[in-house]
């Protein structure tokens, strides 16, 4: 694995594929932001179709990481180029962590896609040179256990980056080693198998036209684009949400829906539950308790206000409770 300083020719087809992948990722993030801030009703964060869409994009992106490793270093690792790119990715991951910590402190990104790519780039190097059958075998060892094993231990953040959780920890992005390093290995395997016959033919493909060239350019600069696209989206969406009050409206609707269902499950009539839940929502607004309740972190004074509000609302539908101490 000696240093090879000769610059490798780029494959426009791969750049275009990377450009398409990053555009789809940006589209998903746009939809997620619009959902989170109450502009659209689609459950982007939890709907199985949206989850499948997000995971498909991630799989394709990590597959292309494996492809890039083989194209760039398959004949010998160009250490200077590798460490320059790795440092860029690692610093990007650090920037994402710091940015989300101050923006979403209760759900900051501590091991997202860039953190995973930085680790996977290092983990993937040996597999550029071992027998291809070993690459395929290890890929299975990373992919299959995800579907057959889980343990509550991995619910904790300190272990969650490995995978295998029962309930995922609260974070805006989490790309665990199992199974996602397997996607990188599949990319390495496919590229090594295609290296002799398929890649030379792909190198001859020179797409023409503005769209292919734009996608190829975006693919070459996918990392800077990834780093800036969310801040740009949030810079536009957050002020507009604050101006229109969309997130507050969504939060209130979600609260009323959940409260109504929970209340009726306890045997209270739908009409009385509606009164109770409206009272509870008014109390949260009056006492400025929305953020503490949704974060799950309340001071003793805030908890006392919440308990008092619940008692008052219960007394609205059950007046006899007023006589109790």
pLDDT tens profile 89-107? 999 999 999 988 888 787 8
pLDDT at 296: 66
| Other Cβ atoms closer than 10 A to 207 | 13
| 43-68 tens-digit pLDDT | 887 789 999 999 999 999 999 999 99
pTM of the model: 0.78
Give the C-alpha separation, 234 to 229, whole Å. Answer: 9
% of the chain exceeding 70 in pLDDT:
94
Flag whether pLDDT at 196 surpasses 90: no
Q: Are 119 and 184 in contact, with CB atoms under 8 Å apart?
A: no
Give the C-alpha separation, 222 to 220, whole Å. Answer: 6
Flag whether pLDDT at 195 surpasses 80: yes
pLDDT at 3: 56
Q: Number of helices and strands (H, E) in the chain? A: 15, 0
Give me the DSSP letters along 257-320. Answer: HHHHHHHHHTT--HHHHHHHHHHHHHHHHHTT-HHHHHHT---HHHHHHHHHHHHHHHHHH-GG
Query: What 3-state class would DSSP assign to 156?
Result: coil
| 286-297 tens-digit pLDDT | 888 877 776 666
């Amino acid at each position: 694995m000696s240093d090879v300083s000769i610059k490798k020719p780029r494959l426009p087809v791969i750049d275009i594929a990377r450009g398409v992948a990053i555009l789809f990722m940006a589209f998903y993030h746009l939809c997620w932001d619009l959902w989170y801030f109450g502009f659209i009703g689609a459950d982007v964060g939890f709907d199985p179709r949206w989850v499948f869409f997000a995971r498909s994009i991630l799989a394709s992106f990590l597959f292309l990481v494996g492809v890039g490793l083989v194209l760039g270093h398959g004949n010998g690792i160009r250490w200077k180029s590798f460490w320059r790119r790795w440092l860029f990715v690692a610093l990007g991951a650090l920037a994402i962590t710091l940015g989300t910590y101050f923006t979403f402190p209760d759900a900051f990104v501590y091991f997202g896609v860039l953190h995973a790519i930085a680790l996977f780039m290092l983990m993937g190097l040996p597999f550029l040179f071992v027998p291809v059958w070993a690459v395929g075998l290890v890929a299975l060892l990373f992919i299959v256990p995800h579907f057959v094993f889980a343990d509550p231990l991995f619910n904790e953040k300190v272990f969650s980056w490995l995978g295998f959780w029962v309930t995922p920890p609260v974070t805006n992005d989490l790309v665990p080693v199992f199974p996602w390093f397997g996607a990188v290995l599949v990319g390495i395997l496919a590229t090594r198998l295609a290296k002799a016959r398929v890649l030379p033919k792909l190198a001859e493909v020179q797409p023409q036209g503005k769209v292919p060239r734009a996608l190829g350019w975006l693919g070459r600069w996918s990392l800077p684009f990834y780093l800036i696209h969310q801040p740009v989206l949030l810079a536009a969406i957050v002020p507009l949400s604050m101006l229109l009050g969309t997130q507050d409206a969504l939060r209130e609707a979600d609260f009323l829906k959940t409260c109504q269902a929970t209340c009726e499950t306890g045997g209270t009539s739908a009409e009385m539950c509606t009164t109770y839940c409206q009272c509870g929502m008014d109390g949260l607004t009056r006492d400025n308790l929305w953020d503490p309740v949704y974060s799950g972190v309340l001071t003793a004074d805030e908890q006392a206000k919440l308990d008092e509000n619940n008692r008052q609302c219960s007394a609205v539908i059950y007046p006899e409770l007023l006589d109790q101490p």
